[in-house]
Structures are given as C-alpha cells and as structure tokens.
Structure 1
Amino acid sequence: MDEQVTRLVDKAWGRFQQIPEDRRFLIAIGGIPGSGKTTLSQKVATALNARHATLHPETPVTETASVAAFVPMDGYHLTRAQLSAMPDPAHAHARRGAEFTFDGAAFLRLVRALRVPLSSETKPVLAPSFDHAVKDPKPDDIAVLPGHRVVVFEGNYVCLDREPWREAAALMDERWFVDVGFATARRRLVARHVRAGIAADEDDAGRRADENDLVNGEEIVKNRVPVDEVVVSMDDETWRHE
C-alpha cells in the first residue's frame, strides 16, 4: 500500500502546485463498502499535510495551518427520522447505506461551496460528520478552513454516475476509485460489523453484507463515472478498516 500512497501523494502534490492560489484542489476517492477507501483517504490527507509542514517549517503544526482537509461522505446519511418518514420505513432502515438513503443534493452543495474562488472574505465551510454513538449525522462538525487548499472526499458514491453525484464528481480535480474483490470486501465487512456491534455475530454480519453492503457495491461498480486512478486495495493489514 505504501508505494501506491507515495505515488498518489506525489501526483496530487504536483497537480496542486499548478493550480491558482484562489482555487482549492479537490480529490474524490470512491469504492465499494469494505474497499479500504477511508484508510487510503486518511493516509493521503495526512501525507499531504506532512509534506506541506516539511516544506514550510516556519508554519506551526496546527489544524489551522494544515493544507489538506478530509471530508468523509458519512455525514450525508439521512437521519433515522428521515428514513422512518419514507413510504416503506422498514425497507429504508434495512437498506441504510444505499444511495437513496443519502442526501446527495446537500453533498453537491458542499462541493459547489468549495469551488467558490478563495479571497480575503472566505469563511469556513462546514460539513456534517457521522456520530456512530447515536447513529445519525452531526451537523456542521467538520470545518473546511480558508487555508485548506486541498480537500480529500471519501465515500461510496463520490464517483457514482447518477445525479446529483455525477455533477459533484465533475467538479473534482481528481477522481480515484479503490478496486477490491467482493470476497475480500465481504470478509472485512463481516469483521467490521461484529467489531462495531452492528451485527450480533458473524452470521448476522454476513447477511447484512450480502443483503445490503454488497448489493450497493454492485451498483457502485456498474455505475461509475470515468476516473483518473484505479487503486488496487491490497489484502493486508495496512488496508484494514478500523
């Protein structure tokens, strides 16, 4: 994994150096559930910040001085209350994680806001996170600051060829897709669901993976916009999702 990360960071940094100072450099990293896209996204954002800190030692190492922000798509889950208000609440809750259970329009508004040219008047742009304790989004919990000139997005649908995701993807400077075998993804998902308490045991976790996560995965793979990079997810500990 490290060699892939190094190459991608080198590429992203090189491209970032070419953009005007009043623009942000946006990277979307998509993939199916269990692909390791979150791990990759965090490593890329961390590496970009480390490189910036090395090249600018005069700048204090703080969040406000970071050049890259990491924005996962999880905060755009519809709330449990919104799912309960759907015509078939039981189906909506069972399929939570499917494309229709996300607020794609709100995600597009975020990306558009980050495409507005930077100026002395630029304010922080706020995005939601996902609170796993209450199992719902937490509004305005992630701040993309004016100094965040690189934004790394991650999520199942950031490269989906369907509106409004398609328009959001078109606004990115780089689109990367993490490729993984479904058997590897299933094994990771089963372990994750049991570890997180989402499933009672491995059998329950396997059913959840087969009936929801991997169904979503099929849609993600079959309906993908053109991407700039296909990153192979290695089946080793460095790709293990926490």
Structure 2
Amino acid sequence: MLVDDVIALVPSIPGRRALLGLAGAPAAGKSTLARRLVDAVNARLGADTAAYVPMDGFHLANAQLDRLGLRGRKGAPETFDVDGYVHLLRRLRATRERPVYAPGFDRDLDEPVAAALAVLPSARLVVTEGNYLADDEPGWSEVRDLLDELWFVEAPRRLRERRLLHRHVHGGRTQEEAIAFIAASERPNATRAESGRPHCSRVVTPEEDS
C-alpha cells in the first residue's frame, strides 16, 4: 500500500523532516493523491504529523505574467518562481523549531496567496507536488536533491484533458478558449513534465490503493 511506504519514510530521516515529491503532467491527480496520503498518515500517526505543500503556490502573479507576456503560457516552467520553491524546500528540511509558512494557490482567484499554508513543528513529513519536480533544467534540477523520494503520478491523456477542460471552464474560460489553451499550453507542459519520469523512483496512479 502507498500509505505504508509513505509512513516508512517518517522515522527514516533522523533529525529532520522527510520530503516526498509527486511529479507528473497537469491534471494527473497529483494534488488528490498528495492530500489522500497526508490525511492517511495523520489518521495513523496523529494530527499534523504530515503536511501538504503544493508547488502551485509559486505561480507568478498574473500581474507579473502580464508584464512578461506569459499569461498565455501560465503553468509552463518559466511561469513559476522556482528559486522561491527551492528555498522553501530547504527551510522545510532544516527548520522544526517554529512554523514554516508557505504560499497556496486559489483556483477561484487564479492567483497565489502568500502564507496560506502552515507546516507546524510537529510535522515529520511533507508531501509536495508539481509538474516539474523531476525536471532537468536549471533551478528545477535542484529540487530532486532536496527530496527523499520522488514519485511520478500517471494518468491517461484523455482523462487529464477532460479534467483540464472542466477546470478551465469552471475558472471562467469559454469551452472554445479552454480547448485552445489546452492545445497551446497544457499539452507542451505535459510533455515537459513527462520528460522527467525516468528520474522518479516509482510510477503511481491516484487510483492505487492508498
């Protein structure tokens, strides 16, 4: 069971938190799986033993994307603050004396929200997820060295794109706009995310028994 394997990470890193990363294409089910794992660990080992910190909080704000001319590529590697994300991972590994605050992402606002998440000193495991955790490019390549394990979350393209269509329409795009954005941005992002699959120690699906 996936949860048993995650729980085994908790006592295996003496003196600091364990960090588990979930990489994968957009809408593969990374956040769903991450939350399930965190909830299951906390149910077994006690509240706040595990915490969930997604990479999505490091989206650049829409104002910055507009300044850079990247609004149409939102979700691509260059539309994230990768240095900020790497710095947070280092803090999560090093600090257990006081809470570590992390940004979240509000899908209704379509914007990151500063200090929306808190990793408490009691947390012995952090599950983080994002498209590019296994990426080889500068900045992103530092992420792997900060994770104790990195898994690749896989789902069929048709399922992923159905989820993306629903997500973007719910977010305010017309169906035609959503389809065009998926073709122009989400598919290239998925190809980029999938290129990191060989760097992951395990391939999982959100439907696996957790």
**Aligned partners of 2:116 and 2:206: how far apart in 1?**
29
Is this contact kept in 1: 2:59–2:112, CA < 8 A?
yes
Deviation at 1:231, TM superposition (A): 0.7
Aligned to 1:219: 192
Aligned residue among 38, 62, 68 for 2:50 = 68
Instruction: Give RMSD over aligned pairs.
Output: 1.9
**Aligned partners of 1:168 and 1:124: how far apart in 2?**
21
Deviation at 1:36, TM superposition (A): 0.8
Aligned to 2:35: 42
Structure of greater Rg: 1
| Count of residue pairs brought into register by the alignment | 209
Output the TM-score relative to the length of structure 1.
Answer: 0.80
**Aligned partners of 2:141 and 2:52: how far apart in 1?**
20
Q: Does 1:124 align with 2:117?
A: no
* Structure 1 letter corresponding to 2:24: G
Aligned to 1:104: 82
**Aligned partners of 1:152 and 1:131: how far apart in 2?**
19
Is this contact kept in 1: 2:61–2:111, CA < 8 A?
yes
| SS of equivalent residue, structure 1 residue 162 | coil
Deviation at 1:15, TM superposition (A): 2.6
Runs of 4+ aligned structure 1 residues displaced above 4 Å come to none
Is this contact kept in 1: 2:132–2:196, CA < 8 A?
no
Is this contact kept in 1: 2:107–2:171, CA < 8 A?
no
Aligned residue among 13, 19, 22 for 1:19 = 13
**Aligned partners of 1:131 and 1:77: how far apart in 2?**
11
Measured against aligned partners, the alpha-carbon deviations of 1:57-101 in whole angstroms (never above 9, x if no partner) come to xxxxxxxx4100001111100011211222xx2xx0000110000
Aligned residue among 147, 150, 155 for 1:180 = 155
**Aligned partners of 2:171 and 2:112: how far apart in 1?**
18
Is this contact kept in 1: 2:48–2:120, CA < 8 A?
no
Counterparts in 2 of 1:1-242, with a 5 A limit? 7-20=1-14, 22-53=15-46, 65-86=47-68, 89=69, 92-116=70-94, 118=96, 122-194=97-169, 196-201=170-175, 203-224=176-197, 226-234=199-207
Change (3 A) 1:77 1:147: same
Change (3 A) 1:198 1:225: farther
Measured against aligned partners, the alpha-carbon deviations of 1:30-63 in whole angstroms (never above 9, x if no partner) come to 110111111111101100101113xxxxxxxxxx
* Structure 2 letter corresponding to 1:28: G
> Structure 2: which 5+ runs fail to align?
none
